[in-house]
Amino acid sequence: MSKLDRWIDNKIVQNGFIWFFFFLVLLISIRAENRVLSALFVILLLAPAVYINNLFILPILRKNTLLFISLFVLNTVIFTTISVFIIKKVAYQELELWMFVNFFGILFLVLTFASAVKIARDSFTRRQQEKEAELKLLKAQLNPHFLFNTLNNLYGLSVVKSDMLPNLMLKLSDLLRYSLYETKETYVTLEKEVQYLENYISLEKIRLENQTEIEFVKMGDLSSKRIAPMLLIVFVENAFKHLDISESQKSKVSISITEENSTLTFICKNTFDVTGTQIQEIEKGKSGIGLYNAKKRLALMYPDTHQLQIDTVGTEYSVTLTLDV
């Protein structure tokens, strides 16, 4: 979180800004000799009623609307009376009905505005917390999903006692290190994410040997751009998981990552079973939670700045993702 974000989220700063704005409004509206002191005096009279309303009365709104309205009006009447008597003592004025009516109207409007701001802020905070909780849940689902598939590969090689197993485990160690430590951040550098993909692809090359033609291309500024961690791996993983492997001809996986003018273009293609069974499983969600979670994370983290297109042409399955980085 940047310093600006921390300042924006700071409740003291938020309250200070609102009161400063209201102070400027009073400064323009008041016609007294000393407008600055008069504006500060009015704020001191209004502030107790506002904070009592926001902290103690407003939470009742969700439980009992009628009780909230009663307490809201009572709070306004009590602090109007107190304020008018204080004004009388300070300004040496006689009590008149218009003083009660005017101050009651002002306080009522201020409390209504303060309540609306508090409700809007609490609603925004609640939605942000729900969003963060959902993203954490999606990450927690994503890592075991990837680990499960990789352990299956390890098991297959251990059964045949393959010499490739040690190198494969080293690659897996690098992958797990990234998924454990780097994914705690909301965003990571694009360069780290690409390195993670390269490690995964190297792991798959060891497993597939000469059965598959694998192509990986990267272009553009990868060091200064940032991306949600483990966002692209799901598409790459599915490309290898649902790959058409046969003895008659080589299967193919083609992956490209291009950054240009702060726009990332990710293309992942793979050949698949001509019967279409594997693709139907992917599209219907039978392949697991990976693809669903990727779409969900994109919707949450890049709501208006991404485009995801999934196509099948002949025996080729392709994913094209563009997003702002």
- Final residue of a domain: which of 125, 144, 173? 125
One-letter amino acid of 249? Q
Torsion angle of alpha carbons 127, 129, 130, 136, nearest 10°? 150
- Are 202 and 284 part of one and the same domain? yes
SS3 content of the chain, % helix, strand, coil (to 5): 65, 15, 20
User: Do residues 171 and 279 both lie within one domain?
Assistant: yes
Which has more pLDDT, 316 or 9? Answer: 316
Among the three residues 105, 125, 145, which one is the final residue of a domain in this structure? 125
Note the pLDDT of residue 141. Answer: 59
Give pLDDT tens digits for 5-43.
Answer: 677 777 888 888 888 988 898 888 877 778 888 889 989
Domain containing residue 31: 3-125
Report how far Cα 40 is from the mean position of its chain's Cα atoms: 39
Query: Rounded to an integer, what distance in angstroms lies between the CA atom of residue 104 and that of residue 83?
Result: 10
One-letter amino acid for residue 265 of the chain: T
Q: Is residue 117 part of a domain?
A: yes
Same domain, 186 and 61: no
Spatial neighbors of 196 by CB under 8 A, at least 6 apart, are: 175, 178, 182, 230, 233
Same-domain check for residues 266 and 206 = yes
End of a domain among 68, 98, 125? 125
Q: Positive or negative CA dihedral for 259, 222, 294, 286?
A: positive
Contact 268, 254 (CB under 8 A): yes
Higher pLDDT, 196 or 127: 196
Q: Is the residue at 134 inside a domain?
A: no
Quick check: is 67 in a domain? yes
Same domain, 17 and 112: yes
236 in a structural domain: yes
Determine which helix (DSSP H) or strand (DSSP E) holds 254, and give its type and residue range.
strand 251-260
Residue 103 CA to residue 84 CA, distance in Å, equals 7
Q: Are 298 and 308 in contact (CB under 8 A)?
A: yes
Is residue 156 assigned to a domain? no
Q: Do the domain assignments include residue 157? A: no
81 falls within a domain: yes
The pLDDT assigned to 284 comes to 44
Instruction: Establish if 35 belongs to a structural domain.
Output: yes
Q: Tell whether 63 and 172 lie within a shared domain.
A: no
Look up the CATH number of the domain holding residue 177: 3.30.565.10
Q: Are residues 176 and 80 in the same domain?
A: no
Is residue 198 scored above 50 in pLDDT?
yes
Residue 95: DSSP 8-state: -
Q: Does residue 171 share a domain with residue 70?
A: no
pLDDT of the residue at 307: 95
The answer to whether residues 304 and 176 belong to one domain is yes
pLDDT for res 282: 46
Number of domains in the chain: 2
The residue type of 211 is: Q
Half-sphere exposure of 65 (CA within 13 A, CB side): 0
Lookup: tokens for 201: 């692809």
Q: Are residues 207 and 267 in the same domain?
A: yes
Q: Are 215 and 253 in contact, with CB atoms under 8 Å apart?
A: yes
Indicate if 110 and 14 belong to the same structural domain.
Answer: yes
**Same domain membership, residue 167 and residue 97:** no
207-252 confidence digits (pLDDT tens)? 777 788 999 999 998 888 999 888 898 899 888 888 876 666 788 9
